[in-house]
Structure 1
Amino acid sequence: MSYDLVIKNGLVILEGGEVQTDVAVKDGVIAAIGENLEGAKTINANGLIVSPGMIDAHVHITDPGGNYRDEWEGYVTGTAASAKGGVTSFMEMPLNQIPATVDGKSIEIKYAAGKDKLKVDVASYGGLVPFNLEGGIQELNDHGVAAYKCFLGTCGDRTIDGDFENVDDYSLYEGMKQIAKTGKVLAVHAENPDITDRLGEIAYKNGETTLKAYVATRPVFTEVESIRRVIFLAKETGCRIHICHIACQEGVDEVIKAQQEGVDVTCETCTHYLYFTTDELDAIGPVVKCSPPIRDEKQQAGLWEHAFNGGLDFITSDHSPCTPELKDKENAFEAWGGISGIQNNVDILFDEGVQKRGLPLTKFAELIATNPADRFGLESKGRISIGKDADFVLIKPNASYVLEAEDLEYRNKISPYIGREIGAQVVQTILRGQSIYSQEEGVTKEFPGVFIKK
């Protein structure tokens, strides 16, 4: 057979282990894996790791911005950053775009906003909110969402018509019953708003301004309590659930316990929880503020242990960008809570996990690609296997560089990783057999990405 592309001489991460071999691509899919393969185009991956392209299952793109958030992150810059960072597909959250993605009309507005603007493939979450229980959930299913998302923690701006809104207990219960009928997964932001909001108000009134004080207003138990509540309702409704961005080891413990009891539940953490700790936050500033907050070294160590042992199913960026003025606050409580991180998932996780802690390459591939693909039914994605989409990231190990602001493809060049030395590099990213980023040529000017509809 004549192949369109052959990646030669790389250390390829297969499900059974890593192998020095060639991978051939035909018509955008993996056609052969073996020795001495030849194709019309060849990439010499000698000295490089050939991994499945990352599937970042937690990304916020603010397009359309509805004249409120037009200067946040659009599809063009967000997918360019993905390509440069080795992310070949991501799952887009139903906020912070205006209108929020909560019914058939709003998801079609989002699809139109992304038309001819995607450099990577994008699957969509539909929202569960108190105001879409009269048909909106079913409309989202009919229009191809891959999963659903709700917030227990406070979210959205009530002064903006069409913005997202967190659920009350009834909306969560009723929404879970409806989502269960679709067979799709409900992803949950699990924090107790009654406690965290009040603690935050008290701290602010008392003159607290630091990120360390902010972290103290969102204690571990406010995550754990919410996770337990969602798991209990999953048992009652039969809804498949996924717990987003867990920042504490006790939260993962609750998920493991529920799995052992037969609950269909998975969970994720984020790159920043595995990289930063509370003690360094105030030296960095509000650019590293997020919720749940970044916790202490003991919690970080516990999350890494769960990543190694299977308690955590995958790792995401929770890429949640905004404009500079929303971060540039002297009082941390007044700053936007979100981290821009999609461009530095792969290199940091490879460095921190594989190189510094000995994470097996097969586990690395599971955490960034295989497990999210399996959980959300992205059948053609997630592994280097014959018949799957030819989505790859080529990684150069033991190749340190210092991230500079000008390296970022984001619309607003904000990141807590700026100035950090990262010990591995993304050399090339390939989507369905097409190079979408290389160090020699930069990010493609084309838009080969598509919306993945389920």
Structure 2
Amino acid sequence: MDIFDLVVIGKVVLENEVVIAEIGVKNEKITAISRDIGVLKGNKTLDFGQSYVFPGMIDVHVHCFSNPNEGFIPTSSSAAVGGITSFMDMPYDLPNPISNVAQFNKKVHQLEQEALVDICLWGTISKTGGTDQIIPLAEAGAIAFKMSTFETDEYRFPRIPDPEILKAMELIKETGLRAAFHSENDEIIVDLIDQYQKSGKVYPRAHMETRPPVTETSAVLKLMEFAYWTGVKLHIVHVSHPRTIDLINLFKSQGVQVTSETCFPYLLLDVNDLDHFGPKAKMNPPLRYPEDSDGLWKHLQAGNIELISSDHAPWGPEKKDIGKDNIFLAASGLPGLEIIAPLMFDSAVAKGNLTPLQFAKLMSQHPAEVFQIPGKGKIAVGYDADFAVIDPDATWIIDETKFRSHSKLSPFHGKKIQGKVVHTIVRGTSVYDGTDLTVKPGFGKFIAGSAAKKSLVGSE
């Protein structure tokens, strides 16, 4: 009889059923699943009783280096504590974005020294003249390409002009990877903010009022039409309004390969929270009306949104507090990597809004499928032994002061949650035991994208 490196027992969430089962792990992979308990023998056994053993969660939208105070160690520590076994790090690093192979390879090297969980890396392009780096970045292992129709910073986070977007889409199509976009209409937003500032309308809700839904939907429409003509696989990040999903469904029916994500704050907060919390709840796109949040939930339940992300943006008080008297001065974004899985479990599974199977697809399977992440996203033989164990009966209080992230500011501070991450396992190794991190930086691995040339991955 085989002796496994590890046997995991619990309420296992498979692709199409939830069963009390045991999982045999050998050489970092799932090699057996038994519905009979006590059949598999391991050098180590972890019995989680009635807790759910989910496939490891995957967060496709994380910003490790937009704030250089953060980086891989705090972020991947947050991931491990939150049941996130893999994440995709965005390319808008400060001071230099990941828009060329030299920067990409440097980041891979740092990742391999510092990561506690497995990480994929996004690539991007410079504002103009950068499309020649797309094929080399794909071959170096970029998981996908992120661009924006809104400009945060001309160098680090630029608005890409339409001719460059079309060129980029044609090249990205050749790689088989996905072109993703921050989709907001820059011209309308800049004009509205200018009007509001001149009128002294700088209260928190002004952030939403200067980014009305049309600024999202009009940008998404343009991108989907470009994708129709170029044939690229398109992904729309952080959808904040249900009409955007209505339009995505329309283009899907016309054969456009377009997927979408929403972020947990759009489901769990609304513009009244922006009024209440001010800069702490400021993100782009902004929080919307309660009925818009309800509409996103309906789309989620209908299967119209592929996945949920955190858009983890770890700003500290030095970037948030300056917006207390003028919301436009505050940095946009919230920390979320450590709390997205329990928050969504509480609001979705514990409250009966989604089944555990639906939750696993949104948080694990679909992210892996949309971005072609090999061996991740499912509990199945041959897949990586990545597990997020959630005790559905445990209740706890979110405490922002205990976040592993540099950012210790959250509108969810003090919220009581039902469902707690009690163990996180990456490739058969416990990285979090419910209390402490149990691996050192460097345990996590770089996951290369599907267009990578193996000879280039990790090379200088």
Where on the TM-score scale, by shorter chain, does this alignment land: which range?
over 0.9
Match of 1:47? 50
Alignment of 1:318 with 2:311, yes or no, is yes
What SS does structure 1 have at the residue aligned with 2:18? strand
Match of 2:30? 30
Hey, what's the Cα distance between the residues in 1 that align with 2:207 and 2:387?
39
Hey, what's the Cα distance between the residues in 2 that align with 1:275 and 1:305?
13
Hey, what's the Cα distance between the residues in 1 that align with 2:54 and 2:131?
43
Match of 2:12? 12
Matches within 5 A, 1:30-429: 30-34=30-34, 35=36, 36=38, 37-62=40-65, 69-71=67-69, 73-156=70-153, 158=154, 163-328=156-321, 329-330=323-324, 331-429=326-424
Alignment of 1:431 with 2:434, yes or no, is no
Hey, what's the Cα distance between the residues in 2 that align with 1:219 and 1:358?
28
The answer to whether the Cα contact below 8 Å between 2:400 and 2:413 also exists between their aligned partners in 1 is yes
* 1:134–1:292 distance in 2 versus 1, CA, 3 Å: closer
The answer to whether the Cα contact below 8 Å between 1:102 and 1:132 also exists between their aligned partners in 2 is no
The answer to whether the Cα contact below 8 Å between 1:3 and 1:26 also exists between their aligned partners in 2 is yes
2:352 maps to amino acid: R
Hey, what's the Cα distance between the residues in 1 that align with 2:13 and 2:131?
46
The answer to whether the Cα contact below 8 Å between 1:3 and 1:39 also exists between their aligned partners in 2 is yes
Alignment of 1:21 with 2:24, yes or no, is no
The answer to whether the Cα contact below 8 Å between 1:83 and 1:443 also exists between their aligned partners in 2 is no
* 1:316–1:143 distance in 2 versus 1, CA, 3 Å: same
Hey, what's the Cα distance between the residues in 2 that align with 1:354 and 1:242?
26
2:204 maps to amino acid: L
Across the two proteins, how many residue pairs are aligned to each other?
443
- The CA RMSD measured in Å over matched residues stands at 1.4
1:140 maps to amino acid: L
Hey, what's the Cα distance between the residues in 2 that align with 1:97 and 1:132?
20
1:4 maps to amino acid: D
Identity %: 33
2:7 maps to amino acid: V
1:191 maps to amino acid: E
* 1:134–1:220 distance in 2 versus 1, CA, 3 Å: closer
Comparing 33-42 with 236-245, greater Cα deviation is found at: 33-42
The answer to whether the Cα contact below 8 Å between 1:25 and 1:32 also exists between their aligned partners in 2 is yes
Poorly superposed stretches of 4+, deviation over 4 Å: none
2:58 maps to amino acid: I
What SS does structure 2 have at the residue aligned with 1:398? strand
TM-score by length of 2: 0.94
1:415 Cα deviation from its structure 2 partner = 2.3
What SS does structure 2 have at the residue aligned with 1:327? helix
Hey, what's the Cα distance between the residues in 1 that align with 2:289 and 2:361?
26
Structure 1, residues 153-179: CA drift from partner, whole Å, max 9, x if none? 1222x4xxx523220111111111111
1:325 maps to amino acid: E
1:134 Cα deviation from its structure 2 partner = 4.8
1:70 maps to amino acid: P
2:332 maps to amino acid: G
Hey, what's the Cα distance between the residues in 2 that align with 1:410 and 1:441?
15
Structure 1, residues 57-110: CA drift from partner, whole Å, max 9, x if none? 101111xx7xxx532x11000000000000000011111332100111111121
What SS does structure 1 have at the residue aligned with 2:58? strand
The answer to whether the Cα contact below 8 Å between 2:89 and 2:119 also exists between their aligned partners in 1 is yes
1:132 Cα deviation from its structure 2 partner = 4.5
Structure 1, residues 366-424: CA drift from partner, whole Å, max 9, x if none? 00010010111112000000000000000011322111133210123222222211221
Structure 1, residues 253-279: CA drift from partner, whole Å, max 9, x if none? 111111111111100000111111111
Hey, what's the Cα distance between the residues in 2 that align with 1:61 and 1:164?
14
1:50 Cα deviation from its structure 2 partner = 0.5
1:339 Cα deviation from its structure 2 partner = 1.0
* 1:33–1:132 distance in 2 versus 1, CA, 3 Å: farther
Structure 1, residues 328-378: CA drift from partner, whole Å, max 9, x if none? 122211100111111111101101011113311111000001001011111
Comparing 84-93 with 317-326, greater Cα deviation is found at: 317-326
1:135 maps to amino acid: D
Comparing 391-400 with 76-85, greater Cα deviation is found at: 391-400
The answer to whether the Cα contact below 8 Å between 1:288 and 1:416 also exists between their aligned partners in 2 is yes
1:442 Cα deviation from its structure 2 partner = 3.7
Structure 1, residues 4-44: CA drift from partner, whole Å, max 9, x if none? 11111x11111111111111111101011112222111111
What SS does structure 1 have at the residue aligned with 2:20? strand
The answer to whether the Cα contact below 8 Å between 2:335 and 2:407 also exists between their aligned partners in 1 is no
Structure 1, residues 102-144: CA drift from partner, whole Å, max 9, x if none? 1111111212332310001111111033234352111211211
Hey, what's the Cα distance between the residues in 1 that align with 2:267 and 2:439?
30
The answer to whether the Cα contact below 8 Å between 1:80 and 1:443 also exists between their aligned partners in 2 is no
Hey, what's the Cα distance between the residues in 1 that align with 2:126 and 2:166?
11
